[in-house]
Structure 1
């Protein structure tokens, strides 16, 4: 008891000294962010004792994190990005402490494809047109993979890790959605003010609707696994979320929900892989036709009539008539992206470099009022972005990963008898299909809200496969 008291005293005085020193330094240097150091040390100590606690805290923070400009040149998402770094650091320490068990757990084809994709991005970075931007991209990708893929696998030693992670994310987003709905109602639920309502948690209504729609399959999974009494409550929650989704005024998220329903139907009938091949073939034919004889020029917008509409009904009509500003700007960047590919088809322009390279390749006929791109956003199609930045091999690896994810989701769904794991594999497939649909019109895999879900879905399938393969072989 005496040694325990002595240890506690040492820890207390060490923590107190750290707090006083960092506070003094922050005041003297006027660098007030230094005051976060003792709290980071406390979180690290907590994470070392209970890694799952910090991981679940990270999951909780995803919907509530806001983009923050630390300096003129440095921005971050608070609080989830510092938590990602902490989870990454803790992950490496835990792996060093128990290397054999972890590497046995990650011995899986989906993990190999993720690592292959990362390795190719590293190779492409060596030939990057902007090495500094590519290095930053690789660093960010490292803690996304470590925090959400490897971190989730690490906490999966807990039997209930899948369920807890899913419920925490769904409930956190539900609370965030209710806050946004109330704020939006105070603004008369108008389309023009939706971006004000979602701030500061989300950059815009597109990011908000993306995370919102991706949590609906989780609630469906909860409904499927619940008793009749709980099903009534969950049904009400799903209805509220669907209303919120409609009021987000995001066409991409609506489309993602429809695609998820179709994906679920295809998965149950073991038709998902052949459907993917058909979609890929149709996309190739369509792109080939647009490129042939410059057919894409037929869709050039009228610069004067292609504007942003504050009325949503006018916005939908403009979309149908190809006079919507956001759609026209997407065409402008997609064309530039396609024209970039032949110049650096093997290693690409380098990860994270699209913005610095695309404007000389743009076609003036598709230029819009927002083509100055002051927010420095990218091509708004992740498949095209993957082709432009790490090259055609990068796209090929990504497509292999997509096919493998759907293969395992379908395989596990039909192999497993356990209701929890069977439902979890189904939900992971639905969310993954939503993410891919959203990324046809955006580049959200590199963001904290959707990038986290991308790796969580893959980790979930790895965990389910590992957890059920022994019981399956015994049966």
Structure 2
């Protein structure tokens, strides 16, 4: 009894001291942002050790999930930004993973390690192509950010989910609660602008830099909960999941992100294939058939696209018109600029097909590769002087990897996606956790499609959703106990 009291006294002392230190650090950082890096350097390892020692990794990771929607960019040095509190907490999580892996886990999760191997070629592409970069410091920082995201949200979380399968749905509820608060803030801002749809692009700032990131996040969450409603066996879970899915679908519509809305349509088609019991070979056949049809009717399709007059920035346009405007490649400036970025990325790949220009360098290197006939008012001619409403990089996760890391970067990413498709359509058959594996895959499918038009994996918010959902997929694959993993179960 005395030992327990001493332990709780020590725990209380550490907790109070930690809270006071965090408050002091916050006050210092708020007034002098340059102190953030020294504070992180001196506090990360001690805090990680405390979290690991007291087995606080689950409460800590839940705090991280809730805080991510509120993460905003803070300038630390000139030209250097940090997403706070997201990235400092992610670095802390990486340190916790290191402590836990060395002290406890090691090779105990060897089955999960076999799944991690599929990600290693993509991580290796980051490391190798840094050496060929013309901006090595930029590439090093970009690569480190992406690798840390994978380590924390894929490796670390997959172990936690294998120990506690209910943890990920709980984390999504916390993340979703944070998104709801951001949504309320955004609706209030939209009301201040008298519901003018033109301003929707910026109402999610400063928490979400762009409406497309917000829409992509809502689309993944909507697909997750809709899938739970389809595959859950309990009536209450089906009703609650359906309500959550509809709510996040409403948020997708609010975001006015065409890519997010189309990704929901893609998810719906894939869900139908899953429900009829399609295998991976059937999916390949369907994909090839669609490709052949597009090639055969290429000219009529191009003619039809050229006749589309709807534009994405029309204040009078409805949801359907905005979605249809995605095919307007003649008068919609946003689409023309996206084509310009794609052409630039492909030309960069032709210039350096094996090594690319280095991770994180696209925005600095693509300018000479632009197509003059596609240049418009959104075109960037100076990376330090970006026109209003422009910015971003290749506007495609696939082409970004191709231009920055060459063919190996794209292949590494496709290997990961291919493995997940194989798990969902082949290995999940007759598996005890098939329904949860399909839920995870179907949620991921929204970004498999959306990644053709945007790239968000370098943002802390979406990196959590993407890699975290994938971690839940592989943890369910190697969990041989069937159980209801939803929070109400």
Bin for the TM-score computed over the shorter chain? 0.7 to 0.9
Matched, 1:456 2:468: yes
SS in 2 for 1:468: coil
SS in 2 for 1:70: strand
8 Å CA contact 1:44, 1:86 repeated in 2 = no
Distance 1:123-1:382 versus aligned 2 partners, 3 A rule: same
8 Å CA contact 2:437, 2:473 repeated in 1 = yes
Matched, 1:330 2:338: yes
Deviation, structure 1 residue 254 = 0.8
What residue number does 2:357 align with?
349
Matched, 1:122 2:127: yes
CA distance in 2, matches of 1:228, 1:20: 44
What residue number does 1:228 align with?
235
8 Å CA contact 1:260, 1:434 repeated in 2 = yes
> Superposition pairs for residues 281-320 of structure 1, below 5 Å?
308-313=313-318, 319-320=326-327
CA distance in 2, matches of 1:462, 1:225: 19
Question: 1:15-64: per-residue Cα shift (whole Å, max 9, x none)?
Answer: 69978997999899895546778986557624542111111211222222
TM-score, with length taken from structure 2: 0.81
Matched, 1:435 2:438: no
TM-score, with length taken from structure 1: 0.83
SS in 2 for 1:54: helix
Deviation, structure 1 residue 88 = 0.3
Distance 1:226-1:46 versus aligned 2 partners, 3 A rule: farther
8 Å CA contact 2:402, 2:409 repeated in 1 = yes
CA distance in 1, matches of 2:173, 2:297: 45
What residue number does 2:486 align with?
none
Deviation, structure 1 residue 356 = 1.8
What residue number does 2:368 align with?
360
What residue number does 1:192 align with?
198
What residue number does 1:293 align with?
none
What residue number does 1:4 align with?
6
Match of 1:52 among 48, 51, 58: 58
SS in 2 for 1:68: strand
8 Å CA contact 1:308, 1:325 repeated in 2 = no
How many residue pairs get aligned? The number is: 461
Distance 1:117-1:47 versus aligned 2 partners, 3 A rule: same
Match of 1:382 among 397, 409, 414: 397
CA distance in 1, matches of 2:95, 2:450: 31
8 Å CA contact 1:336, 1:361 repeated in 2 = yes
Question: 1:354-389: per-residue Cα shift (whole Å, max 9, x none)?
Answer: 112111111111001011262652111111111111
What residue number does 1:258 align with?
265
Deviation, structure 1 residue 410 = 2.1
Deviation, structure 1 residue 308 = 5.0
8 Å CA contact 1:438, 1:444 repeated in 2 = no
What residue number does 1:404 align with?
419
Matched, 1:238 2:245: yes
Deviation, structure 1 residue 212 = 0.6
SS in 1 for 2:70: coil
Unaligned runs of 5+ in 2: 484-489
CA distance in 2, matches of 1:406, 1:27: 45
CA distance in 1, matches of 2:88, 2:33: 21
What residue number does 2:84 align with?
78
SS in 1 for 2:429: helix
Deviation, structure 1 residue 209 = 0.6
Deviation, structure 1 residue 189 = 3.4
Unaligned runs of 5+ in 1: 291-295
Match of 1:447 among 420, 437, 459: 459
Match of 1:168 among 168, 174, 181: 174
Distance 1:176-1:230 versus aligned 2 partners, 3 A rule: farther
Q: Which moved more, 1:19-28 or 1:250-259?
A: 19-28
8 Å CA contact 1:380, 1:442 repeated in 2 = yes
What residue number does 1:66 align with?
72
CA distance in 2, matches of 1:19, 1:245: 35
CA distance in 2, matches of 1:316, 1:19: 45
What residue number does 2:138 align with?
133
CA distance in 1, matches of 2:107, 2:155: 13
CA distance in 2, matches of 1:28, 1:79: 16
